[in-house]
Structure 1
C-alpha cells in the first residue's frame, strides 16, 4: 500500500492575473490535506477508484486499446472523478512511454478540505487531490518522479479538465510553504504533450513558468475566515476572461503589486507586506467594479472591513464570490487577533485554524 498526501492552498495575491501565461502570484500551503492511497490488486482484477468526496463514490476502469477508460455504460467520467481520472490517465501514458508494465490497482482518495456537510472552503481541493494522486501512482508505477515532474504531471491532468487553470494551487500543493509563482503557457504545454508525449513534456521548456520559494513572514499571523458560501473559481475566471480591455491594465498592476510583495516577504518587512495585501485587495475591487464579477460578496466585504478595524491587512483569497478571505495581523498586537475573531464571528464568518504547511524539496 502506498499513501501520499498534498496540502491545500491560499492565494495571498495575484488572483485573476495569474491565469494569463507568465503572470505572477504569491500563494501559501495550509495544513489541510488530500490523501491518495494505492493498493495493487491481482491480475485480472479491474482498476477501481474510490473517493470520499461528494458523499462517497466509486468508478471502475477498463481499457480501450492502450487507454484507460471508465467502465460505465456511456463511458463518461463522473464529475467527482474528473481530476483523479485525468491524473491516472496521464500517469498511465507516462508508464507506457517508459515501457513499464501496467498493473491493476485500487486508488482511494480522501480530503479534509471542506466542512462536515461537504461544502468546500476554497482551499484548492481539486489541486491537492490531483497532486496526491500523481505522487501515489508515480510510486506505484515505479516512475521515480522529482517534485518538478509531479508538478508538471499534475498540471497536465488539471488542464485536461480545466484548460484555464493557472495551476498555482498545483505548485503550492506540490512544494508547500510560501511560493512566488509565474504561470506557464498551458496551451503550449498541452500541445507538446499531445504531439510528442508526456515524457517529452516533462523535459521541455515551459514558457512563462517560474517557481520560487519564499520565507514565511515572522512578524505577521495569517488568519483565515470562511464565508460559508462556496464559490466556482472556473465560472468566475471564465467571466473575467471576457473582459480583455479591463484585464490588460489590471494584469500589469497586479504583477507590479506581486513583485513588491515578494520583495517585502523576502525582506521580512511586515509593513511592506501589509501595504501590498491592501493594494491587491483594491485591485480586485477595481476589477470587480469594472467587470461585475461578484468577487466581493457582503461577507467578504465584512471580512476585510473587520481586518481594517483592527489594523490588519485583509483581502479575499482566490477568485472570491464566497470561500475564504485572509488577514495578516501584527504579532506584536495579540489583542488585534482576538478582536478580529470576534468581529468575524459577529459577521457570520467562521475563523479557520490553519497553519502553513512547510516547504519541501527543490524546485529545480
Structure 2
C-alpha cells in the first residue's frame, strides 16, 4: 500500500496573467492536504473518493486511457483529473518497459471542503492530481524527481483542460511559497498525445519557470471564504475568449508582470510595506481587468472582505479566479488585535475565516 499527500494552494498575485505563457504569479502552498492511497487488487480496478460518498467506482483501461464505463457524467467529471493522472503515469511505465497492474485507489480531500461538501477554493483538483501521480509513480516503482512529478501532473492537467495555468500544480508539488510562470499548455497537450512521455519529462518547456521564495516570517496571511462556489474554469474560459476584445489586455499583462516582479523582490528582502503595496496593486489590476472585460471577479462578498481587511490595515484581494471562493488579507504578524477583529467582522458579513499555514517546501532536489 502506497500513500502520498499533496497540499493545496492560494494565489497571492498574478491571477489571469499567469494563464499567458511566461507571465509570473506568486503562490503559497497551504496545509490542507489531498491524500491518495493505492494498493494491489484482486478485483480489477477501482476508485473511491470521499467527495463521492462511499461508492466504489469500477474503471477499465480502454486503449491508452482509463475510463469509468458505468459512471454517470457527473462522476466522470469529478474524477477526470484522477483518471488523467493514472493514464499519464501508466504511459510512462509502459515506455520504460513496465507492466500495469490491477489497483484499488482511495482519495481523501476532506480538508478542502466544509461539512456540506462545499469546496473552499484551495486547489483540491491540483492537489489530488499531484498526490495520485506521486502514489502511482511509487506504486510502479518509477524513479521520479519533483520536476518529473510536476510535469506528469501538468500533462494530466492539460489533457483535461489546457487553459489551466498549472500554478496550483507547482504549489502542490513543491510546497512553500513559489514564483511561477506557465509553459505553453496547448503545445504540451499536442505533444503528449503523440506519446514519448519520458522525452517530454526531459525536454525544454518554453515559458516555464518555478522558483522557491522564502516563507515570510513577519507577515500573516488571513484567508476568508465567502461561501460562494466559484467556477474557476468557466471564468478562465471567459477570460481567454474576451481578452482581446478591448485594448486593455496588453496593458493588463504589463502591469501584472511588473507588480508580481516587485512583489517577488519585496518578499526576498522582507520589505513588508512593499509587499502590502503590491498586494493592493494586484487587487486594483484585477479590478481593472474586471471592468474591461466583465468577468465578475469582484463579487459583493469579496468586495466586503477586502474592505474590512483594508479598514484594519491589511492588504486584501481576491485569491484565484474570483467570482466567489476565497480572498486574502496580508497584515503584520504582530497585529493580533486587528486580525481577531477582522475575523469577527468577516463573520458578521457571512465570511468564514479559514485557518491555514504555509505547507513546508519539499527538500527533495528537482
Normalised to the residue count of structure 2, the TM-score between the two structures is: 0.95
Q: Once the 2 structures are TM-superposed, how far is the Cα of residue 252 of structure 1 from its aligned partner?
A: 1.4
- Superposed CA deviations along residues 320-357 of structure 1, whole A, max 9, x for unmatched, are 00000000111232211112112111211100111110
Alignment of 1:52-67 (within 5 A): 52-65=50-63, 67=65
Q: 1:89 & 1:113 partners in 2: Cα distance?
A: 24
Moved more, 241-250 or 108-117: 241-250
Q: 1:252 & 1:128 partners in 2: Cα distance?
A: 30
Which residue does 2:318 correspond to in 1? 316
Which residue does 1:286 correspond to in 2? 288
- Superposed CA deviations along residues 122-163 of structure 1, whole A, max 9, x for unmatched, are 000100010000000000011111100110000111111111
SS in 2 for 1:195: coil
Alignment of 1:127-206 (within 5 A): 127-206=126-205
Which residue does 1:86 correspond to in 2? 84
Which residue does 1:329 correspond to in 2? 331
Is 1:20–1:183's contact at 8 Å kept on the other side of the alignment?
yes
Q: Within the alignment, does 1:262 sit opposite 2:264 as a pair?
A: yes
- Superposed CA deviations along residues 259-314 of structure 1, whole A, max 9, x for unmatched, are 00000000011111000000000001111111111111111001100111111100
Which residue does 2:103 correspond to in 1? 105
Q: 1:20 & 1:141 partners in 2: Cα distance?
A: 34
CA RMSD of aligned residues (A): 1.6
Which residue does 2:94 correspond to in 1? 96
Is 1:55–1:118's contact at 8 Å kept on the other side of the alignment?
no
SS in 2 for 1:31: strand
CA 1:56–1:159 in 2, change beyond 3 Å: closer, same or farther? farther
CA 1:74–1:296 in 2, change beyond 3 Å: closer, same or farther? closer
Query: How many equivalent pairs are there?
Result: 362
SS in 1 for 2:79: helix
Is 1:294–1:321's contact at 8 Å kept on the other side of the alignment?
yes
SS in 1 for 2:105: strand
Which residue does 2:305 correspond to in 1? 303
Q: Once the 2 structures are TM-superposed, how far is the Cα of residue 21 of structure 1 from its aligned partner?
A: 0.7
Normalised to the residue count of structure 1, the TM-score between the two structures is: 0.96
Which residue does 1:35 correspond to in 2? 35
Unmatched segments (≥5 aa) in structure 1: none
After TM superposition, the runs of 4+ consecutive aligned structure 1 residues lying more than 4 A away are: 73-77
Which residue does 1:69 correspond to in 2? 67
